[in-house]
Amino acid sequence: MAVDSLAGNAAVVAGGEMVTLEVFRYRPEEETEPVYQAYEVPVHKDWVVLDALNHIKDHLDGTLSFRWSCRMGVCGSCGMMVNGDATLTCATFVESLLPGPIRVGPLENFPVVRDLIIEMNDFMEKLESVKPWIIRDEEKSLEDGAYLQTPAQLADFKQFSMCINCLLCYAACPVYGLEPSFTGPAVIALAQRYNLDSRDQGAGERNAILNTDEGIWQCTLVGECSVVCPKDVDPAAAIQRYKVSSTLQWYQKLLMPWSGK
Amino acid sequence: MSANPQHTPYHPRWYRASMPIFWWMRRWIHARFILRELTSIFVAGYALVYLLQLRALGLGPEAYARFLDLLRSPLSISLHGVSLVFVIYHSITWFNLAPRALALRIGDRRVPDKVIAGLNFVAWISISAALAWVTLKG
């Protein structure tokens, strides 16, 4: 069978080498405090941490719960804390963490539903609140054709559009950990993605939510969001640029109240 | 919302870890961040000394001479030494972060981060050198 032969091809680094995975377990029906459970997993040269977790799920302990989907850094489902770092487990090789033990936990700063699964409604609600879609004062009619954009105009926001909502930036942000009301890195970056889009006219509406203490101004520029981002979105840059532009707007309003903006 | 999650029959109990007071001591990068935040106290200290110096200048030559004597005391010199280290750290981290806040474009091309940070450093060093030359030559 094709699947079996694929599994058989996985190259073993050293004959029968094993590594210990210490995995965060929280089973609300069984325990009030989480515990770390150790599993012995074979070392394969081409295994990422997600492969090791799937090995546990398939062969050692079917009760372990975690989210994953694409296995190639696109879906943003498998973000976890690996040895304290917020990372996509599909993009972190076991070999790079030897000799172990490798500690795997759920993303920090979020409530844990079960084992490695976090509750992310807070993020989804914040994301919706900044209206991450193109807002027009008046829609063009179909006969008028598409909204054209130059490559330079695309380049203005493209970087911020690469976000895959993996929430690593929230897990890495101590401000969000201390103040859960903070809008947070990815949401602000995605709001900027639309603010900087030449086709969009909704910056004013988003500003009401973002130019507040809980919006951009709670950010103290720790910068970790940009360090952990697997897509080089650089949310820290998005927030700082937003701070600069809203400060300029404030001065413009103060010095030229007739400017109307 | 999840700050105070509402439990439902499907989510009987959620586990929420609270951040310990010394969260910033667990990782070097966070400790470095807190250190950067602390440097602002020393920057404020410098500003305060400068304001007191202006005040002494306004009070007349005797008061100003007394103030300068105070600045020459070993305590003051050692405090200034410590402050200098922190303020230099503050400046370096600040200028390194400048490209994050500035996205400059010349024509269609984005000015590279290193150029933005580099220009800040050049301006900082040359203005400092000019000020040092003006104040120390007399």
Q: Are residues A80 and A128 in the same domain?
A: no
**Closest residue in A to B106 (Cα–Cα):** A152
CB A155 within 8 A of CB A202: no
pLDDT tens sequence across A102-131:
999 999 999 999 999 999 999 999 999 999
Partner-chain contact B101 A244, CB within 8 Å: yes
Tens-digit pLDDT profile for residues A183-241: 999 999 999 999 999 999 998 899 888 999 899 999 988 888 999 999 999 999 899 98
- Sorted by where each begins, the domain ranges of chain B are 24-137
Are residues A125 and A114 both part of a single domain?
no
Domain with A72 in it: 2-118
Residue A200: which CATH number? 1.10.1060.10
Co-location of A164 and A58 in the same domain:
no
How does pLDDT run across A67-108, given as a tens digit for each residue?
999 999 999 999 999 999 999 999 999 999 989 899 999 999
Can you tell me the distance from the alpha carbon of A193 to that of A160, in angstroms, rounded to the nearest whole number? 5
Pure H helices in A107-210: 121-129, 151-161, 168-172, 174-178, 185-195, 203-210
Q: How far is it, in rounded angstroms, from Cα B39 to Cα A227?
A: 22
**Shortest Cα distance from B136 to chain A (angstroms)?**
36
Specify the higher pLDDT residue, A11 or B104. B104
**Residue after which a domain boundary falls, among A62, A91, A118:** A118
Give yes or no for residue B95 having a pLDDT over 70: yes
Q: Confirm if A21 and A104 have CB atoms less than 8 A apart.
A: yes
Q: What is this model's ipTM?
A: 0.73
Asked whether the beta carbons of residue B110 and residue A155 sit closer than 8 angstroms, the reply is: yes
Q: Are A228 and A86 spatial neighbours (Cβ–Cβ below 8 Å)?
A: yes
Residues A129, A114 share a domain: no
CATH of B24-137, picked from 3.40.50.150, 1.20.1300.10, 1.10.10.10, 3.30.40.230, is 1.20.1300.10
Are A84 and B26 in contact (CB < 8 Å)?
yes
Q: Which amino acid, residue A62? A: G
The Cα A218–Cα A128 span in angstroms is: 19
Is A97 within 8 Å of A47 (Cβ atoms)?
no
By C-alpha distance, the chain A residue nearest B15 is: A112
The residue written with tokens 């101590």 in the block is A174
Q: Helices in A15-78 by DSSP H: which ranges?
A: 49-55
pLDDT above 50 for A12:
no
Distance CA A68, CA A154 (A): 31
Q: Would you state the pLDDT for residue A72?
A: 94
